């Protein structure tokens, strides 16, 4: 599979979407991106697993980072891509292969940006934090992520989105007592007991706090449930996996304490947590970028690796084509006009 970086950014997005890259299976796409960038003389290329970092080395006084993940959620019958009335449909079209297409176009066609640029393409953003390619890079090659300002090209509908919410996953376990299902009254059915866990979730009042002038919106949802021993056994265990999305006024520790309080009395195991990031839009580098791009910044609801950059001390914002509300849906799509707009504004910023 060969990528032609000279084609229109919309066509390039379609090419990227059509190379399936569900988390953990990004290799074919990483190979294609590596092959496309390898021949560009103004970039130094590094590969780490299925992550790639391409850097200019012009000795500019500032270095900016453009970063995007190349993995997608599982395909839901929505491949290959197709174009309809100016909208490109397909798994990953919005989240975030259109942003990756903009990165690749800029990498190929802006050999002499006014700031040095680091392009980061990474794997496993859509799964648990420990597998995240950016986390791996930050541990193994932190020097590759150094910079003065970072733009995460996650879908924001071409608006600058500040900060991000944190995400926590926990397993809530209901227990019971096994018995033969022909004599169900001798056991205690753990799946029936899990009805109370679902009751808590259904009645959960989600917060909508304001943080540094931006309004966030939380959520607590079941993302998985499993239970059952055999087809004729009253099960003694049922596990509901919940995902808590928390505003950046709560730390990971506070988020965990909250979930434990909500499920007081149940067996709670936190399996995965990634803190959010406060907006940080007062930083001079962020102000300069926002001024160049235009528009009114708003809160980022989805967790993104701005939190990772935040932890590395690099100011970062989210900005990219695609409606974040279309992400992870069967009908995921992106407007070609937004991809073009994003490429144009980023190009103007990098060459001004």
Distance CA 170, CA 272 (A): 7
Is the N-terminal amide bond of 96 cis, ω within 30° of 0? yes
Among 50, 95, 116, 125, the one annotated catalytic: 125
**Closer residue to a second copy in complex, CB, 106/255:** 255
CB of 60 to a second copy, least distance (A): 35
**Closer residue to a second copy in complex, CB, 56/167:** 167
Q: How far apart are the first and last CA of the chain?
A: 34
Instruction: Give CA angle at 33 (30, 38), nearest 5°.
Output: 120
Q: CB atoms < 10 A from the CB of 296, how many?
A: 7
Residue-wise over 54-89: b if at least 16 C-beta within 10 A, else e?
Answer: bbbeeeeeebbbbbbbbbbbeeeebbebeeeeebbb
Q: Give, in order, the Cα–Cα distances in Å from 40 to each of 35, 36, 62, 109, 146.
A: 10, 8, 21, 10, 22
Identify the H or E element spanning 200: helix 195-202
Among 71, 161, 218, 310, the one annotated catalytic: 71
**Closer residue to a second copy in complex, CB, 10/324:** 324
Task: Give yes or no: 71 in active site.
Answer: yes
CB of 143 to a second copy, least distance (A): 30
User: Contact residues for a second copy (CB under 8 A)?
Assistant: 73-74, 76, 95, 126-128, 165, 167, 169, 178-186, 189, 191-192, 194-195, 198-199, 201-202, 206, 217, 219-235, 238, 240-241, 243, 245, 272, 301-303, 324-325, 327-330
CB of 3 to a second copy, least distance (A): 26
CB of 20 to a second copy, least distance (A): 15
Handedness of CA 281, 284, 287, 288 (dihedral sign): negative
Task: Give yes or no: 236 in active site.
Answer: no
**Closer residue to a second copy in complex, CB, 116/126:** 126
CB of 166 to a second copy, least distance (A): 10
Active site residue ranges = 71, 125
């Amino acid at each position: 599979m060969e990528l032609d970086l000279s084609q229109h950014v919309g066509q390039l997005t379609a090419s990227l979407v059509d190379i399936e890259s569900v988390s953990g299976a990004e290799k074919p796409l990483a190979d294609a991106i590596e092959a496309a960038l390898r021949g560009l003389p103004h970039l130094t290329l590094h590969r780490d697993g299925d992550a790639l970092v391409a850097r200019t080395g012009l000795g500019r006084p500032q270095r900016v980072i453009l970063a995007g993940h190349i993995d997608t959620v599982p395909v839901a019958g929505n491949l290959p891509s197709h174009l309809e009335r100016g909208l490109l449909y397909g798994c990953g079209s919005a989240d975030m292969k259109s942003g990756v297409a903009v990165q690749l176009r800029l990498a190929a066609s802006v050999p002499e940006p006014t700031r040095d640029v680091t392009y980061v393409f990474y794997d496993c953003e859509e799964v648990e934090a420990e597998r995240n390619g950016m986390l791996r890079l930050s541990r193994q090659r932190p020097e590759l992520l150094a910079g003065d300002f970072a733009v995460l090209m996650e879908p924001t509908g071409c608006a600058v989105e500040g900060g991000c919410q944190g995400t926590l996953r926990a397993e809530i376990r209901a227990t019971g007592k096994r018995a033969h299902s022909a004599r169900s009254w001798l056991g205690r059915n753990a799946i029936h007991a899990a009805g109370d866990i679902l009751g808590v979730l259904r009645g959960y009042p989600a917060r909508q706090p304001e943080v540094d002038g931006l309004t966030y919106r939380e959520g607590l949802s079941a993302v998985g449930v499993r239970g059952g021993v055999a087809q004729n056994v009253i099960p003694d265990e049922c596990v509901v996996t919940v995902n808590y999305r928390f505003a950046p006024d709560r730390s990971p520790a506070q988020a965990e304490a909250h979930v434990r309080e909500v499920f007081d009395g149940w067996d709670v195991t936190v399996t995965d947590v990634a803190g959010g990031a406060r907006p940080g839009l007062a930083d001079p580098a962020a102000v300069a970028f926002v001024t160049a791009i235009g528009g009114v910044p708003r809160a980022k609801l989805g967790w993104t690796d701005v939190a990772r950059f935040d932890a590395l001390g690099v100011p970062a914002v989210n900005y990219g084509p695609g409606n974040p509300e279309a992400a992870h849906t069967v009908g995921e799509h992106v407007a070609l006009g937004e991809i073009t707009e994003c490429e144009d504004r980023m190009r103007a910023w990098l060459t001004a």
